[in-house]
Structure 1
Amino acid sequence: MKKTMLVMMTMVLALTLAACGSKNGNETSGGGGAEGLSGSILAAGSTAMQPLVEQVANKFMADSKYSGITVQVQGGGSGTGLTQVSEGQADIGNSDIFANEKFKDGDATKAEELVDHQVAVVAMSTVVNKDIAIDNLTKQQLVDIFTGKVTNWKEVGGADAKIVIVNRPSSSGTRKTFEKYGLGTASEDLPGNIQEDSSGTVKKLVGETPGAIGYLALSYLDDSVKKLKLDGVEATPDNVKAGTYPIWAYQHMYTKGEPNEAVKAFLDFMLTDDIQKTDVTELGYIAINEMQVTRDESGKIVKK
Structure 2
Amino acid sequence: MIFLVLGSCNSIKSNTSNPSQIASQNDSQTQSAIKIAGSSSSVTIFKVLTEAYQAQDKTAKIDFVSLSQSEGAIAALKNGIVDIAGSSHKLKPEENNGKIQYRELAQDLLIVATHNSVQGVTNLTTAQLQSIYTGKIVNWQQLGGPNAKIVVLDRPEDESAKKLLRKYYLGKDETTTNAIVLNKEGELIDTLQNTPYSIGAFSLAYSLINQLPVHRLSLNGIAPNKENLTNGKYQMVRKLGIIWHKAPPPSTQKFIDFTFSSEGNKLLLDKGFIPSN
Paired residue for 2:82, among 71, 90, 101?
90
- Kindly state the Cα deviation for residue 246 of structure 1 after the two structures are TM-superposed: 0.8
Asked whether 1:274 is paired with 2:263, we answer yes
Asked whether 1:210 is paired with 2:196, we answer yes
Residue in 2 aligned with 1:183?
170
Would the alpha carbon gap of residues 226 and 258 (structure 1) be closer, same or farther in structure 2, given more than 3 Å must change? farther
Residue in 1 aligned with 2:114?
128
- Kindly state the Cα deviation for residue 148 of structure 1 after the two structures are TM-superposed: 2.8
Residue in 1 aligned with 2:50?
57
Q: TM-score, normalised by structure 2?
A: 0.76
- Inter-partner Cα distance in structure 2 for 1:238 and 1:158: 28
After superposition, residues 1-304 of structure 1 pair within 5 angstroms as 39-64=32-57, 67=59, 69-79=60-70, 80-100=72-92, 108-111=93-96, 113=98, 114-132=100-118, 133-185=120-172, 188=175, 190-221=176-207, 222-255=211-244, 257=246, 259-277=248-266, 279-289=267-277
Would the alpha carbon gap of residues 81 and 172 (structure 1) be closer, same or farther in structure 2, given more than 3 Å must change? farther
- Inter-partner Cα distance in structure 2 for 1:184 and 1:264: 41
How large is the Cα RMSD of the aligned pairs? Answer: 2.5
Contact 1:77 1:171 in 2 (8 A): no
1:50 counterpart letter in structure 2: V
Would the alpha carbon gap of residues 178 and 262 (structure 1) be closer, same or farther in structure 2, given more than 3 Å must change? farther
Residue in 1 aligned with 2:22?
none
> Larger relative contact order (C-alpha < 8 A, sep ≥ 6)?
2
SS state at 2:235 partner? coil
Contact 1:181 1:248 in 2 (8 A): no
Gaps of 5+ in 2: 1-30
- Inter-partner Cα distance in structure 1 for 2:162 and 2:80: 25
Gaps of 5+ in 1: 1-37, 101-107, 290-304
Identity percentage of aligned residues: 24
Q: TM-score, normalised by structure 1?
A: 0.70
Q: Deviations over 1:189-225 (max 9, x none)?
A: x433222233333222212212200011012213421
- Inter-partner Cα distance in structure 2 for 1:162 and 1:83: 41
2:35 counterpart letter in structure 1: L
- Kindly state the Cα deviation for residue 99 of structure 1 after the two structures are TM-superposed: 3.4
- Inter-partner Cα distance in structure 1 for 2:247 and 2:133: 40
Contact 2:74 2:95 in 1 (8 A): no
- Inter-partner Cα distance in structure 2 for 1:62 and 1:223: 25
2:268 counterpart letter in structure 1: V
Count of matched residue pairs: 241
- Inter-partner Cα distance in structure 1 for 2:78 and 2:173: 25
- Inter-partner Cα distance in structure 2 for 1:186 and 1:83: 32
SS state at 2:40 partner? coil
Contact 2:40 2:67 in 1 (8 A): yes
1:160 counterpart letter in structure 2: N
Contact 1:137 1:228 in 2 (8 A): yes
SS state at 1:268 partner? helix
Contact 2:160 2:238 in 1 (8 A): no
- Kindly state the Cα deviation for residue 44 of structure 1 after the two structures are TM-superposed: 1.6
